[in-house]
Amino acid sequence: MHFSFEARLRPAAFAALLALAAGAAHAQSSVSIYGLVDMSAGQFQNAGEAKLKRVQSGNLSTSYLGFSGTEDLGGGLKATFALESFFLADTGGAGRFGPDVFWARASNVGIAGSFGSLRAGRASPPLFVSTLLFNPFGDSFGFSPSIRQWYNNAKGAGNAVFQTPLIGDSGWSNGVFYGTPKFGGLSANVAVTAGEGGVNKGPNYGANVLYFGGPFSATLAWQHVEANGPGGNNLTNFAGFDHQEAWQLGASYDFGMVKLFGQYGQITTDATLEVKTKNAQVGASVPVGAAGAVLASYGESKREGGVGRLNKTLTLGYDHNLSKRTDLYAIYMSDKLTGFDTGNTYAIGLRHKF
């Protein structure tokens, strides 16, 4: 005679078993909701532009909302996904700017295990990751000299002739992204994306190597770009565009009393007129007590080819942690560009992670 397993258990025992099963299933998969809201107020001025008194979103870190999760597939494998959208906290608008795509920060699905991680969709390219890791202001599009001189396409009145930002944006779409497991302090990342027609000539591909070993850290990153992204520079700005290549070296050393940063790299755009841009940055982070840090970064970006331009940006700041999730900051930035008046920015801000 057949007896179901449920029928052989008392109701209380069966309920307890169901609860345990639900707990086990929950332990095998998870979904997280997280994000960051960054607001600052003050005087904002790029080189060659008027002074603006404003309240702005996302200058130290771009405000965003994210959803991510994993599922245990067994055998040491897990499935992953990430959906992350930028937003403008000052207006409630979506994206980083008007025509931005909705899931601009990330939209990918993948698998991870002892072999590393493999994702498909939209994610940050390796060069962008290296750039934000080796300067004291991280991924700040508003204040970091490194991010501004490599990626920010809104640097002031001189941008039409200066054109330093990379083509391809700080996020790559239609891509496959592979990250190796860590070997001691060493790891690497590779990204390949499809051009998919239109004005895009072909694929993008890039890679980086990262080393974190005690107080010393370093990176080498490279990319080849033929396809546009929704942000950053546009390949149509270069008549006869064929491709763009960029490489970067970065390093940092933490002495305890101060952490030093350095970066050097080059962007070469192959077009009717070859445009070569050399970027360099030095920076420092000095702890103040248990909760604060003085931040300083100086960057130079020199454009060669056609109309030569030199951009010099100095940013000084103080960041104070009110908790593990909330910090206050004050910033001063001087932005200089050949042939244009100096821009001076003063701002105070509040950043909250959740």
Lowest mean pLDDT among 23-32, 33-42, 229-238: 23-32
- What per-residue confidence (pLDDT) applies to 239? 85
Instruction: With a cut of 50, say whether residue 18 has pLDDT above it.
Output: no
Quick one: average pLDDT of 80-103? 94
Percent over 70 (pLDDT), the chain: 88
- At residue 233, the pLDDT reads 79
Confidence check: pLDDT of 314 > 60: yes
Q: Which residues pair with 321 in a beta bridge?
A: 327
d(CA 274, CA 242): 10
Closest CA to 212 of 173, 259, 244, 271: 259
Convert the pLDDT of each residue in 225-240 to its tens digit: 998 888 777 888 888 9
- Would you say residue 22 lies in a domain? no
Summarised one tens digit per residue, pLDDT across range 177-217 is 999 999 999 999 999 999 887 777 789 999 999 999 999 99
Backbone angles phi, psi at 43, to 5 degrees: -100, 125
Banded pLDDT at 8 (limits 50, 70, 90): very low
Query: In this structure, what CATH number is given to the domain that contains residue 266?
Result: 2.40.160.10
Q: Is residue 137 part of a domain?
A: yes
> What is the residue-averaged pLDDT of the chain?
89
153 domain-assigned: yes
pLDDT tops 80 at residue 24: no
Q: pLDDT value at position 136? A: 98
- Asked, for residue 74, whether it belongs to a domain, the answer is no
Whether 196 contacts 218, CB under 8 Å? no
- Domain for residue 185, yes or no? yes
pLDDT for 282 beyond 70: yes
pLDDT classification of 75: cutoffs 50, 70, 90: very high
pLDDT digits (tens, 9 = 90+) for 328-348: 999 999 999 988 899 999 999
Residue 268, in any domain of the structure: yes
Q: Give residue 185's pLDDT.
A: 96
- Considering its fold, how many domains does the chain have in total? 1
How far from 7 is each of 10, 16, 22, 193, CA to CA, in Å? 8, 14, 19, 55
Q: Is the pLDDT of residue 21 over 60?
A: no
Measured between alpha carbons, how far is 275 from 305 in angstroms, rounded to an integer? 5
Q: Is the residue at 335 inside a domain?
A: yes
Q: DSSP string covering 78-121, please? A: EEEEEEEEEEETTTTEESSSTT--TT-SEEEEEEEETTEEEEEE
Look up the domain containing 56 and give its range: 42-60+124-353
Q: What angle do CA 347, 348, 353 make, to 5 degrees?
A: 125
Within a domain: 12: no
